[in-house]
């Protein structure tokens, strides 16, 4: 399969997301960290070491939907469990973020740039994350009609 999908909260305006994700030419951060939850994704396997913690591979893209539209993806470097090795998160202006990743949470570590979808595909919102196959989904009725 090689990909997962997450829904971004509707409270974020599209302009905020554009600033946060950056452009193909200029990213806002050198790495992006997205939480997946407490349980290790079952479709991953050991893939070396990341910041002193075993990394898990097999997932290559992290897609996002926002307000019912598939907006794009990041390339996944690895999936790790946070045992204190991850850097503190910062805001866009470089200040420490009030929101930090809790220990024992699994995290997708992603590298810029954010690849925006060139075609318009729809995807309903949901909580958490799911395994995702873009090629299989592209041909479905749900991808063509907003639900």
Domain boundaries, the chain: 3-144
CA distance 125 to 146: 11
User: Residues with Cβ < 8 Å from 86, sequence gap 6 or more?
Assistant: 33, 51, 80, 101, 107
Q: Print pLDDT tens along the chain (147 aa).
A: 589 999 988 888 877 888 888 877 788 888 999 999 988 888 877 777 777 777 777 889 999 999 999 999 999 999 999 999 999 999 888 899 998 999 999 999 999 999 999 999 999 999 999 999 999 999 999 999 886
CA distance 46 to 51: 14
CA distance 83 to 47: 17
Q: Given this model, what pLDDT does residue 58 score?
A: 84
Q: Given this model, what pLDDT does residue 108 score?
A: 93
Maximum distance among all alpha carbons in the chain?
Answer: 45
CB atoms within 10 A of CB 85: 12
CA distance 82 to 91: 19
């Amino acid at each position: 399969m090689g990909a997962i999908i997450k829904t971004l909260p509707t409270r974020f305006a599209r302009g905020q997301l554009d600033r946060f994700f950056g452009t193909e030419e200029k990213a806002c951060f050198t790495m992006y960290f997205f939480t997946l939850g407490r349980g290790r994704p079952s479709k991953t396997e050991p893939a070396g070491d990341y910041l002193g913690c075993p990394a898990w591979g097999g997932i290559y893209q992290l897609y996002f939907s926002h307000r019912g539209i598939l907006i794009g993806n990041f390339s996944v470097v690895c999936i790790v469990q946070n045992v204190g090795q991850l850097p503190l998160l910062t805001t866009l202006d470089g200040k420490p973020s009030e929101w930090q990743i809790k220990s024992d949470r699994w995290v997708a570590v992603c590298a810029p740039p954010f690849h925006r979808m060139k075609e318009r595909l729809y995807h309903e919102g949901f909580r958490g994350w799911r395994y995702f196959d873009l090629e299989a989904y592209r041909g479905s009725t749900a991808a063509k009609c907003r639900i």
